[in-house]
Structure 1
Amino acid sequence: MLERHEMEVFLALAEELHFGRTAERLHVSTARVSQTIAKLERRVGAPLFHRTSHRVELAPLGRDLYDEVRPAWDRISAAVVRAVEPGRGVTGTLRVAFTGRAAGQLLVAAAQEFRARHPDCDVQI
């Protein structure tokens, strides 16, 4: 079984394909990213990434793992957010207004994203 931090490091590195950017994104050291991936590869028994001093790319096994895990991880993360939000008070009604066409387009897009993230909150434009 993979631990949460191992999954976060794996998914971030698979998306960034750069140890330094992955470390920045996760607020950890580059060495921590490297150690976590090495540990994960030992556990899996095969390389998940091909790396040189200039390039990082997913190995076929890593690509397969990413394609299987990413949607499940997104669902798990969303479920946790939905469980936590009512306790944090992200419910009720949000009323927003705008002037100007460009602002309206931006606001509608932002409202759709907010609705998706906070289904228990009513958004009124």
Structure 2
Amino acid sequence: MLERTDIEVLLTLDEELHFGRTAERLRLSTGQVSRIVKRLERRIGAPLFTRTSRTVAATPIGARLATELRPLVAQMDAAERRAVEAGRGLAGELHVGFVGAAAGQALLSAVDRFSGRYRDCRVH
């Protein structure tokens, strides 16, 4: 099974196509990024990136792996976010009310922002 750091390096390098920028974004050293890519390539049994002193490009295998992993990582991130929100009590239902028309506009705006941020909490 791939480790989260391995996946993050693969996806970031696929976006950046530059070892230095990948290292900077992930707060790793360039050497660490290089070692992780080499380890992944040994595990897969094929090159994931072609690299010269001037360019980095994903191989067809590397590009396909990155394409297939991206939605899975997004789902994992969403699941973690929902668990954190539930742990903070930000899931379920929220009942709100207001008095006066002026407060209604401000409340509707706040409800829209809240609902967009905390999708697992219904506002009534």
TM-score (norm 1): 0.74
Aligned position for 2:64: 64
Aligned position for 1:55: 55
**Count of paired positions:** 112
Q: Deviations over 1:13-52 (max 9, x none)?
A: 1111111111111111111111000000000000000111
Structure 2 SS opposite 1:57: strand
Q: Which runs of 5+ in 1 are unaligned?
A: 98-103, 105-109
Q: Deviations over 1:31-81 (max 9, x none)?
A: 111100000000000000011111111100011111111111111111111
Once the two structures are TM-superposed, the CA of residue 121 in structure 1 deviates from its matched residue by 4.8
Q: 1:23 to 1:90 in 2, by over 3 A?
A: farther
Q: Provide the rounded CA distance (Å) in 2 between the counterparts of 1:88 and 1:53.
A: 48
Q: 1:32 to 1:85 in 2, by over 3 A?
A: same
Structure 1 SS opposite 2:32: helix
Alignment identity in percent? 53
Aligned position for 1:16: 16
Q: Return 18-27 or 81-90, whichever deviates more.
A: 81-90
Q: 1:19 to 1:88 in 2, by over 3 A?
A: farther
Aligned position for 1:83: 83
Q: Provide the rounded CA distance (Å) in 1 between the counterparts of 2:68 and 2:32.
A: 24
Larger radius of gyration: 2
Amino acid at match of 2:71: P
Aligned position for 2:35: 35
Q: Provide the rounded CA distance (Å) in 1 between the counterparts of 2:25 and 2:121.
A: 29
Structure 2 SS opposite 1:119: coil
Q: Which runs of 5+ in 2 are unaligned?
A: 96-104
RMSD after superposition: 3.0
TM-score (norm 2): 0.75
